[in-house]
Structure 1
Amino acid sequence: MVKLAPIEIFSLMINFLLGSAIVVGWNFETKQDIWITILLSLGFGVGIFYFYLMLHSIGKWGNLIQLLELGFGRWISKILGFIYYLYFIYIAGRVLKDFSFFVGQVLFHNIPFVVISFTLLLVVSYSCYLGIEATARSSVILCAFTGVFILILMFFGYLSPYFEFNHLTPLFRTSWKHIFSSVFPTGLTVPYGELIVFTMFFPYANDKKALRKYGFISVCTTGVLLLLAGEMILGLLNSETVTMYVFPFVKALELTSVLEFLPHIETFAVILNLIGGFVKIFIFMYGGVMILAHMFPKTKPNRRIIAAAILTFLVTFTLSKNIIQHLFIGLKIVPFYLHIPLQFIIPCILVICLLIKKYIVKSL
């Protein structure tokens, strides 16, 4: 029986939530008021986390597929389970493409995207073969590295001579309508709504009470780090030019150096993306593998992993041709047509069904 310590789930959530968000997940449409957008998204993110925990507590801490069976019955749960499998694999492919674009444009300009993606996918597939426990233990160490690197980068970013506090003002110039349109659906669904995949892992926590505390801390920590990083980016680039860059975090760090002997400190952003991208792809891909294991228990684990890896690789290179199309699909289409139904609508209906069944059982 798989058992995960609260600190392991905490580290997985930190790396997962930061993921590619710290590098590519920025929306500066609200300009100097982006801090309001981040804080509102964080507040909703905490609510989303506790909503998923409530789903588990009502369903006696079964995983997502078991909850679907309990709420909707065997056949509907199989259909929904397969849909969630495709959804998890699709998001894993999208994150893999985020990683490929980033490394290809920032670090290795002459290496084809296919080589970069295939290399990381091999590492993720091997981690799936080792299992969630081994990767969770590694994630504790990776989380420590992530925290140290982010704090160091932001420390020197705020101390950079190019950082200007007047770039952070004026405040409260954005209409609330514009702010809420920035929060919903993008700010809700990415990264907080993506915690839906953790409904496959929360039941493995060996201390459910500690899970509530550690999960809350991880969500809040992520929000605070994104807030500090967002303000640093604005202070270095200003609100007029920041929207010109696909990777504003890296561009801001290009204006930063450590005591003039380490001029290319932005290379550390690659390490952050490696760690976050690896964990996020692993979580989604392994979540999909777990769904296959539940739906087809007689198939061999290696075949399930190979099938998930092949499908993830195909998704990466078939659904968008360039970074502009990739970002448009990810920001304008996926949130409305995939994230909202699968992260919120179906879970809400599931909660209602579980509560009705629970009430009926008590009344008998």
Structure 2
Amino acid sequence: MQQIGKYQMIVMIIMFELGSTTLFELGIKAKQDSWLAILFGALIGFALLWVFVRIQNRAPSLCFAGLLRLHLGRLLGTVVGVLYAVYFAYESMRNIRDFSELTVMTIMQQTPQWIIIVIVAGLALYALSKGALVFFRIVELLFPVVLISYTLLLLFLIITKLPNIHHLLPILEDGIAPVAKAAFPDIISFPFGQIVVFLMFWHHISEKNNTGKTVAMGYMIVSVFLILMNAITMSVLGPELSAVSALPLLEVVQLIRLANIIERLDVVVTLLLYIGLYVKMTLFFMASVLMISSLFKLKNGRVGLVMIILITLMSFTERNNTEHIWIGLVIAVKVFTVFQIQIPLLLLIVGALRGLGKKNGGSAEGEVAIQK
């Protein structure tokens, strides 16, 4: 079995949560308190993370497909597993579409969108053919590039004195209600609830006894970073401009002018977004394929080929970027709480009632359950 190290898992969680998140100014309904909305969402998301880890720890050697059958039985577990595969595939499609829209809006305005989608889909299929461990290692290699780039961007913003703290004031002008409304379910669902996809990969962690500490560390690091980036973007653009901006972070970076030498850093941001979108899209795609392969004992290659064709076709169902964003940030975030909150809570309760994971339960019981 492929073994993923603790550091690799932490890095993947950080890169995954970054993904397409920095494309948007999340929590904008709370205006200058948007960073508080992300903080609130991150805290609720941390509780969800505990639920996911608790479910995994009941049978550390099982992937999510096996955990569903362990908790719900073979038939119902299979049905729910297929629904999760569809959910993962749809999330992958959304990131492919984000990738193509970003490309068309920034550096390749004359390129047909379908060409970009097909190329990115092909890259995801290639990553699947190499396996999850190789993909985790590639992301590990990309992480220093992303870390250094974001650090330099933040440093340049501070040096140029673009952030204006007054744009973040007054804090809680209209009370806590707008913050809570902006956070639930939207921010909890995107990006924090999406970490449910890691239930397909946590059984590969080399030190399974430390799964909770490992994922919590990655989650806390990226949560703090997302809050910081949101606050800085808001402090530069202000609530009014942030609300109407298509790519807020890109507009912030375009304002950087340092000694008439360092400028046009929007290219760097675009490349960082490409990396994040590709990582997120590929991980969702892999999870979808692995779910179907595990449930029906099929080869990853064949399932992956069929799945990537379906994902590519789904990418063309939304007529334009406005519709794509509206569906994602208004409709999907509410529907997907079924997979991110309701079903995991059901599994938590069912497992507690059945005493799963206690003493002689755990992975051994899980292995028996999925073989029946």
Please give the range of the TM-score, normalised by the shorter of the 2 chains: over 0.9
Matching residue of 2:368: none
Task: Quote how far apart the aligned CAs of 1:76 are.
Answer: 0.9
Identity of aligned residues (%): 23
Tell me, what secondary structure is at the counterpart of 1:239? helix
Cα pair 2:6 2:206 within 8 Å, conserved = yes
Partner of 1:349: 346
Match of 2:325 among 311, 324, 327: 327
Q: Which runs of 5+ in 2 are unaligned?
A: 361-372
Partner letter of residue 81 of structure 1? G
CA distance in 1, matches of 2:348, 2:235: 43
SS at match of 1:30: helix
2:345 aligns to what SS in structure 1? Answer: helix
With 253-262 and 236-245 compared, the bigger mean Cα shift is at 253-262
Where does 1:119-268 land on structure 2 (aligned, <5 Å)? 119-268=119-268
Q: Does 1:291 align with 2:291?
A: yes
- Determine the C-alpha separation between the residues in 2 that align with 1:267 and 1:359: 50
Quote the residue 1:304 is aligned against: 303
Contact persistence 2:26–2:38 (CA under 8 A): no
Q: Would you say the 8 A contact 1:19–1:275 is kept in 2?
A: yes
**Alpha-carbon separation, structure 2, partners of 1:133 and 1:81:** 22
How many residues align structurally?
360
- Looking at structure 2, the residues matched to 76 and 253 of structure 1 have their Cα atoms a distance apart, in angstroms, of 49
Shift of 1:161: 4.5
* Whole-Å separation in 2 of the counterparts to 1:112 and 1:18: 27
Q: 2:260 aligns to what SS in structure 1? A: coil
What CA RMSD, in Å, does the superposition of the two structures yield over aligned residues?
Answer: 1.9
CA shift, 1:10, in A, is 0.9
* Cα distance between partner residues in 2 of 1:262 and 1:75: 60
Residues 65 and 291 in structure 2, CA contact (< 8 A), matched pair in contact too: yes
Task: Tell me how far 1:209 sits from its aligned partner.
Answer: 3.5
Aligned equivalents of 2:245 and 2:183: distance in 1? 20
SS in 1 for 2:239: coil
Kindly provide the CA deviation profile for residues 291-333 of structure 1, in whole angstroms up to 9, marking residues without a partner as x.
1211221x33321111111111112111x11111111111221
Shift in CA distance, 165/307, structure 1 to aligned 2, threshold 3 Å = same
| Counterpart-to-counterpart distance in 2, 1:348 and 1:248 | 35
> How high is the TM-score relative to the length of structure 2?
0.92
What's the CA shift string for 1:218-269, capped at 9, x where partnerless?
1111111112211221222111211111110101111113432232111111
Q: Is the 8 A contact 2:289 2:307 kept in 1?
A: yes
Partner Cα distance (1:24, 1:165) in 2: 20
Distance 2:356 2:194 in 1: 29
**Residue segments in structure 1 that go unaligned for 5+ positions in a row:** none
* Distance (Å, rounded) in 2 between the aligned partners of 1:141 and 1:78: 36
- Using the size of structure 1 for normalisation, the TM-score is 0.94
Please state how far the C-alpha of 1:174 moved relative to its aligned partner.
3.1
Q: Deviations over 1:186-237 (max 9, x none)?
A: 1111111101110000111011243322311211111111122112212221
Cα shift at 1:281: 0.7
